[in-house]
Amino acid sequence: MSDTRQSKTSKATPIHLLHESRFDAWLSSASPLIQNWVAAHAFKAASGKHLVAPGSDGAIDCVIVGVSDPMILWDTGSLAKALPVGSYALAGDYSPAEGEAALLGWLLGSYEFDRYKTAAPATAILEIPSGIDAKQVNAIHDATRLVRDLVNTPANDLGPSALAAAAESLAKEFAADCKIIVGDDLLTQNYPAVHAVGRAASDAPRLIEMTWGNPAHPTIALVGKGVCFDSGGLDIKPAAGMKLMKKDMGGAAHVLGIAHCIMALKINVHLKVLIPAVENAISGNAMRPLDVVKTRAGITIEIGNTDAEGRVILADALARAAESNPTLIIDFATLTGAARVALGTELPALFCNDDSFAQDILAAGDRAADPLWRMPLWPGYRKMIEGKVADITNSPEGGFAGAITAALFLERFVPAGILWAHLDIMAWNVASKPGRPEGGEALCLRTMTDMLLTKYGRT
């Protein structure tokens, strides 16, 4: 990961963050040259617009940036790539929250997936605004880069073994414990469902288990779907549906990113991260339609469709997470196309077995400008996941309410009494927006970090 932390220089160009309502007052005390320049460009400081203003020598004097009220991080999201390469610094009065938002938006907008580019493009740099909590901004920025890099890396360089190596390197950075169970050991150690989905791939399936923090703190378990490529299996996806499926380990990337935030900020929790890492591939030993798969919890699964593989591997990981008797379990998964049909690509679907916990998450989403939407664990649809020859099916007939029935399937593996949230996420920007370049994306990472910080605090 490249270090893009901003450094101080003396020749930084001033950036004026201005809401439309404050713009006229600011302009009236600016130089006639700047007043003329603003008039010539009919610039009104609408949010998302900026104007580079020259001095009398033709060099850049300052940059005027229109922002929202209240300011949000995306107001500065396009500047790192839009402005001439150089150093910039916030000018005038701003609150610590505004300074943090401005820096975070700028940093997130500077992201470029450059692993395979022979020359990495330079971006404009923002000095660290004074009075802000740079530690939190840096943690979120580093974690978001980690998620984006992992999701963007193609499956030929990010199979289950490489995903496990990424988890091990994160664990090493923060002196966490990391155990990995590989291949046929999954059978002897009772992870039959992870093995069934991943056994056809040449890069063997594995279960990644990371542990960090003081065991006296509340245990929280993060579980992430790590399907490094989802071909669909024998129920193979058509080309258009398969194309983006390097991102099907987005849930795993999210739990590593959130783990990064928890460990970097030393949040007062005892952390467990569980990632079933597989490739859903096709071979002579691939899982077939109507195979019956055993799970760690003892519940049997009828494979109605080999393309509904995420819930099958998560069954074993959730059962394992429950064994550590956690206060709460949160899982992240690029689980269903149906969640995208219901809420689009930008809004993760939240399913939660507790109203007050759901409220905590939604409130954090509002604070972090990182929204998500709650959907129901509707009991009336439980009958849809009943199996014909096994206990449950991974692919209900008809396909209606696909995101809900997938969540109800996962619910079967979470014992009553444990707070549980399930996030069905896209993990991908289908088009670039300020601060959010097209490609792999962390969704609800800021939300979860905020929720955990609010609930547990940090040392």
d(CA 95, CA 88) in angstroms, rounded, equals 18
Q: Which of 149, 209, 309, 441 binds ligand BES (CB under 6 A)?
A: 309
Question: Pick from ligand BES, Zn ion, none: which does 414 bind, CB < 5 to 8 A by kind?
Answer: none
Mask: binding to ligand BES, 354-393, rule CB under 6 A, as x and -?
----------------------------------------
237 is a catalytic site residue? yes
Q: Which amino acid is at 253?
A: A
| Pair 145, 152: CB distance under 8 Å | no
* In the complex, least distance from residue 272 CB atom to ligand BES, rounded to whole angstroms: 24
* Alpha helices for 225-272 (secondary structure H): 239-242, 250-264
**Closest by CA position to 269, among listed 221, 222, 218, 223:** 218
Nearer to Zn ion by Cβ, of 305 and 432: the residue is: 305
Interacting positions 115-174 with Zn ion (CB under 5 A): none
Q: Which of 98, 142, 279, 307 binds Zn ion (CB under 5 A)?
A: 307
Q: Which of 310, 326, 348, 439 binds Zn ion (CB under 5 A)?
A: 310
- Stretches 10-18, 260-268, 308-316, 347-355: which one binds ligand BES (CB under 6 A)? 308-316
**Residue 274 β-bridge partners:** 209, 223
Nearer to Zn ion by Cβ, of 249 and 452: the residue is: 249
Q: What does the block give as tokens for 35?
A: 């007043």
**Closest by CA position to 265, among listed 80, 74, 7, 445:** 445
* In the complex, least distance from residue 431 CB atom to ligand BES, rounded to whole angstroms: 15
DSSP class of residue 311 equals: H
Q: Examine residue 71 and tell whether it contacts ligand BES (CB under 6 A).
A: no
Interacting positions 210-249 with ligand BES (CB under 6 A): 230, 248
d(CA 254, CA 240) in angstroms, rounded, equals 24
Interacting positions 315-374 with Zn ion (CB under 5 A): none
Which is the catalytic residue, given 145, 246, 247, 311?
311
Nearer to ligand BES by Cβ, of 119 and 389: the residue is: 389
Residue environment code for 247-262, b if the CB has 16+ CB neighbours within 10 A, otherwise e: bbbbbbbbbbbbbbbb
Nearer to ligand BES by Cβ, of 344 and 376: the residue is: 344
Question: Pick from ligand BES, Zn ion, none: which does 201 bind, CB < 5 to 8 A by kind?
Answer: none
* In the complex, least distance from residue 333 CB atom to Zn ion, rounded to whole angstroms: 8
d(CA 256, CA 433) in angstroms, rounded, equals 24
* Alpha helices for 31-133 (secondary structure H): 32-40, 79-82, 96-109
* Alpha helices for 53-95 (secondary structure H): 79-82
Mask: binding to ligand BES, 247-286, rule CB under 6 A, as x and -?
-x--------------------------------------
Interacting positions 315-344 with ligand BES (CB under 6 A): 334-338, 340
Mask: binding to Zn ion, 202-231, rule CB under 5 A, as x and -?
-------------------------x--x-
**Residue 423 β-bridge partners:** 332, 350
Question: Pick from ligand BES, Zn ion, none: which does 437 bind, CB < 5 to 8 A by kind?
Answer: none
Describe the strand order of the beta sheet including 60-66 as a list of residue ranges: 50-54, 60-66, 13-18, 87-90, 125-126
Q: Which of 310, 348, 365, 435 binds ligand BES (CB under 6 A)?
A: 310
Site size with ligand BES, rule: CB under 6 A: 16
In angstroms, the Cα distances linking 98 to 17, 71, 132 are: 9, 6, 9
* In the complex, least distance from residue 430 CB atom to ligand BES, rounded to whole angstroms: 10
* In the complex, least distance from residue 399 CB atom to ligand BES, rounded to whole angstroms: 6
Taking each helix axis as running N to C, give the angle between helix 310-323 and helix 402-411, from 0 to 180 degrees, rounded to the nearest 10.
Answer: 30
Q: Examine residue 450 and tell whether it contacts Zn ion (CB under 5 A).
A: no
The alpha carbon of 111 is separated from its chain's Cα centroid by a whole number of angstroms, namely 14
266 is a catalytic site residue? no
Mask: binding to ligand BES, 387-416, rule CB under 6 A, as x and -?
--------x------x--------------
- Stretches 125-133, 134-142, 183-191, 304-312: which one binds ligand BES (CB under 6 A)? 304-312
**Closest by CA position to 77, among listed 110, 46, 44, 45:** 110
DSSP class of residue 236 equals: P
d(CA 156, CA 159) in angstroms, rounded, equals 6
d(CA 48, CA 69) in angstroms, rounded, equals 12
The alpha carbon of 334 is separated from its chain's Cα centroid by a whole number of angstroms, namely 10
* In the complex, least distance from residue 260 CB atom to ligand BES, rounded to whole angstroms: 23
What's the length of the chain? 459
d(CA 265, CA 6) in angstroms, rounded, equals 19
**Closest by CA position to 324, among listed 167, 212, 408:** 212
Q: Which residues are catalytic?
A: 237, 311
Binding site for ligand BES (CB under 6 A): 230, 248, 305, 307-310, 334-338, 340, 395, 402, 426
In the complex, the residues that contact Zn ion under the rule CB under 5 A are 227, 230, 248, 307, 309-310
